[in-house]
Amino acid sequence: MTLERRSIDIIPADERTGRPRDLFSIWFAANIGPLTFVTGGIAPLVYGLDFWWSLIALLVGLLLGGLAMSLHSAQGPQLGVPQMIQSRGQFGVRGSLIVLVVVLIMYVGIYAANIVSGAQSVNAVLPAVPIWLLSALFAVVGLVVCVVGYQLIHLIGRVITMVSVATVGVLVVGMAVMGNVPAAVFQIGQPTLRGFLGTMAVGALWLIAFAPYVSDYSRYMPARTASLRSTFWWTYAGAVLGGIVPMAVGVIVSIAVRGDVLTGMPQVLGGPLSTVALLSFAAVIMHFNAMNLYGAVLAVVTIVQTFRSRWLPGTRERAVIGAAMVAVASFVALLMSDDFVTGFTNLIILLQYVFIPWTAVNLVDFYLVRKGRYAVQDFFLPDGGRYGLYDKPALIAYTVGILVEIPFMSTILYTGPVATALSGADISWIVSLAVTVPLYLLLARTRSADLAPVA
């Protein structure tokens, strides 16, 4: 294994390696972590759903969000560049910065959330170890893995998948046999339209949040062996299966303790089982943090390279940028720690409103408009080549896709009139997709001949 030399540049054919089935482990492992358990707990804690309706809503959301995520993953072997570099083919070299800045905020937010949840989970088992020290440990390990890069991230994903399968099996069986789960846990709560739609959106956005960087981990694979179909299905299976089991456990724990999942886990699972669960989170967090940090570094490089087109940094520069991102995320973690669940829920809601129209434009352009044919070298030109600095059809469709969500939004800060009429049910993401997809297809026809797909 060698240090990764490349950052956002095109991966040549002679450096392509890996198999589509490797994508199962990396996305399965990325989901078996504390944030997934916390996300499952949102359904009863925030929306008041019972166990079965929570499970159904989360599964439907994961299945829908996994479709978008996996379609993005399949783009990687075909183009050989990171996901947000690909966005230059839809939004233009500078137009893509609008989405890229939001993506960078997402990386920092999720990285910070991982620091908080990871430190809390391990501290619950080892209270003598201060949270600040655990947070620093997670950050440093994540930075090292990020600097080594792509191959190490995949290797750790395979190892953690094997460990996680065993751990989750022990948890499920142990919780059924020796756990402290109240008999009435499956009757507490009630189905509501608001709760179902809100929980479904949480499940969908959990996987759609991976969309801006999912193909970063498939871009090294040979296009001749990593087909669109195989890349899609291995990603889809790993992400959905890795998400639904810990979310189901999170639902049970949240209902049982009527509160936060992480702090309530020892009470429900008992001492030995909670120790196994909470310690296993440490490895997953280090893996997931490395992935988020890796994505944040690529995002920063992409932003800078937009204005310095010849700059393609190597390992040393990535390490410096990674260290700076760790410092920023650690500061954000301190701000989140006082009210973690509320902060994390608000982050998920924020992502919902900005990523849905982006993913619609990106996927429609790749699969329906250009059919996967891009002049990838043009992505790195100062003027964007045939894709230009700004792409009006994509930016208009993206903007409209966000604006149409406003009447349907349901958040702590604002609830739109339609959401109010629906008793707080949030269907903004469905409306955004329904408007953005046909609108972009219509506007894409107005492009001049020099923006047509590559033959």
For the stretch 140-189, pLDDT in tens is 888 888 888 878 888 888 888 888 788 777 777 777 766 667 667 777 77
Cα distance between residue 253 and residue 248, in whole Å: 9
Predicted confidence (pLDDT) per residue in 74-108, tens digit: 999 999 999 989 999 999 999 999 888 888 888 88
Do the Cβ atoms of 41 and 251 come closer than 8 Å?
Answer: yes
Q: pLDDT per residue over 309-318, tens digit each?
A: 788 777 788 8
Quick check: 242 pLDDT over 50? yes
> Which class is 22-352 in CATH?
mainly alpha
Q: Which two tokens stand for residue 117?
A: 């949840």
Higher pLDDT, 441 or 138: 441
d(CA 441, CA 369): 7
Q: How many other CB atoms are there within 10 angstroms of residue 56's CB atom? A: 17
Which CB contacts under 8 angstroms, 24+ apart, belong to 338-343? Answer: 340/38, 340/113, 340/116, 340/117, 340/120, 340/260, 341/38, 341/41, 341/42, 341/45, 341/260, 342/412, 343/113
Residue 455 has a pLDDT of 45
Domain extents in the chain: 22-352
* % of the chain with per-residue pLDDT over 90: 33
Residue 347: band (very low, low, confident or very high) from pLDDT cuts 50, 70, 90: low
Query: pLDDT for 332-345, tens place per residue?
Result: 777 765 565 566 66
- pLDDT tens for each residue of 191-231: 888 889 889 988 998 898 888 889 999 999 998 888 999 99
**Cα torsion angle, 46, 49, 55, 61, sign:** negative
- CA distances to 81, 156, 249, 407 from 99, rounded to whole Å, are 17, 29, 33, 22
pTM tops 0.75, yes or no: yes
